[in-house]
Structure 1
Amino acid sequence: MKSSNATAASNHGPIDVAAIRSAARNLDSGAVPSGYQGNREEIIEMLNAALATELVCALRYKRHYYTATGLVNEPIKAEFLQHAQEEEDHAGRIAERIVQLNGDPDFNPATITDRSHAEYDECSDIKGMIRANLIAERVAIESYRQMIERIGDTDPTTKHMLIDIMAVEEEHADDMKDLLD
């Protein structure tokens, strides 16, 4: 009895190794092979919006970290700093993926806030800061959900990266919600 994987492979015929090797020799497409199914321009545009969102979020968290006052707020400040660092990590991962797709990551400070899905915040009270961060996390989660849905199965690498980032954003939102309670 054949396994289901063997049956599935036999239904589509053998893998054409010679064609794969030949296509891989075309180095003009960089890291992305010829079988890539995604709409590269659209995905790069979405990723640049995500990059802007992550950068704005990192800056907002850092501002909140530096401007929150009072000894009672030290644990909250530590949370803000950790989230800022994780947002910066997300931005780096997204920028790397844009380059892998032969795009240019857009770090232009003059247009970051316009391209960001989340807003920058200048609250001075701790509850306002937490609320602004929770709202921004919810915006990021929904933005990633829509990007993942739009990409579908056409670009599994980008899709999985966005799923991983979205999971961290959900943790951030949960953290902010807990701080509000």
Structure 2
Amino acid sequence: MKNDVSSTAASSKASGHQHLALDQSGLDAARNSLDDGAVTPSYGPWRDDVVKLLNDALATELVCILRYKRHYFTANGVESPAIADEFLVHANEESAHADLIAERIVQLGGEPDFAPTHLLERSHASYDESTDLQSMVRANLIAERVAVESYRQMISLIGDKDPTTRRMLEGILADEEEHADELKDWLGH
């Protein structure tokens, strides 16, 4: 077996195949700047951009929580109990997303921006004060579709620059797509 590995390695070198190997200079750099925690120099110039994207996503999630909570408490009509319960489930899931995002911002050495005065200017989604149940469903579906699109764009922008953040956003995106599908099913009931 050992000879098979050696002959494979030799043929790889002969064919010009590059071997996967860690960058020792990157490992050495990780031994410095311990105050940066998990943020190593390989994050490069992208860390600040990622933190800004995440703070905008945090604002979006917080506005969505507020919109869903308002709709939960003010929904009325024959179908409202079931739909209102779904609004509450979505509000709680958006709250979990906000927590994940805020935690990741801190891990990256940033500060999560929860300032109420900044939320609407940074949020991708809108707040809504509809009183009609179908208008509430429509406003939430629009917001979920905007969230889906913004998370897709963030995932694309981040790419391999921050795999941990990308995976987190992919999980949130899957939830947002599920929310949109559920809301679409309530539209027109």
Instruction: Tell me the TM-score normalized by structure 1.
Output: 0.89
Name the residue aligned to 1:106: 113
Name the residue aligned to 2:93: 86
Q: For 1:137 and 1:16, how far apart are their aligned partners in 2? A: 41
Shift of the alpha carbon at 1:175? 0.4
Checking the alignment, whether the CA contact within 8 Å between 1:30 and 1:100 is kept in structure 2 is: yes
Q: For 2:109 and 2:146, how far apart are their aligned partners in 1? A: 27
Aligned residues: 177
Q: How does 1:22-33 map to 2 (within 5 A)?
A: 23-24=30-31, 26-33=33-40
Root-mean-square deviation over aligned CA pairs: 2.2
Name the residue aligned to 1:157: 164
Checking the alignment, whether the CA contact within 8 Å between 2:64 and 2:143 is kept in structure 1 is: yes
- Residue 136 of structure 2: which of 119, 129, 136 is its match? 129
The letter of the residue matching 1:178 is: D
Name the residue aligned to 1:77: 84
Following TM superposition, where does structure 1 have runs of at least 4 consecutive aligned residues deviating by more than 4 angstroms? Answer: 16-19
Instruction: Decide which structure has the larger Cα Rg and report it.
Output: 2
Name the residue aligned to 2:69: 62
Query: Which is worse superposed, 18-27 or 32-41?
Result: 18-27
Shift of the alpha carbon at 1:73? 1.3
The letter of the residue matching 1:127 is: Q
Stretches of structure 2 that go unaligned for 5 or more consecutive residues are: none
CA change 1:124–1:32 in 2 (3 A) is same
CA change 1:44–1:14 in 2 (3 A) is closer
The letter of the residue matching 1:123 is: S
**Identity fraction in percent:** 57
Deviations 1:64-92 (A, max 9, x none): 00001235311101100000000000000
Name the residue aligned to 2:55: 48
The letter of the residue matching 2:33 is: N
Instruction: Tell me the TM-score normalized by structure 2.
Output: 0.85
Checking the alignment, whether the CA contact within 8 Å between 1:119 and 1:136 is kept in structure 2 is: yes
Stretches of structure 1 that go unaligned for 5 or more consecutive residues are: none
Q: How does 1:9-28 map to 2 (within 5 A)?
A: 11-12=18-19, 14-15=21-22, 20=27, 23-24=30-31, 26-28=33-35
Query: Which is worse superposed, 28-37 or 55-64?
Result: 28-37
CA change 1:177–1:41 in 2 (3 A) is same
Which secondary structure state, in structure 1, belongs to the residue aligned with residue 41 of structure 2?
coil
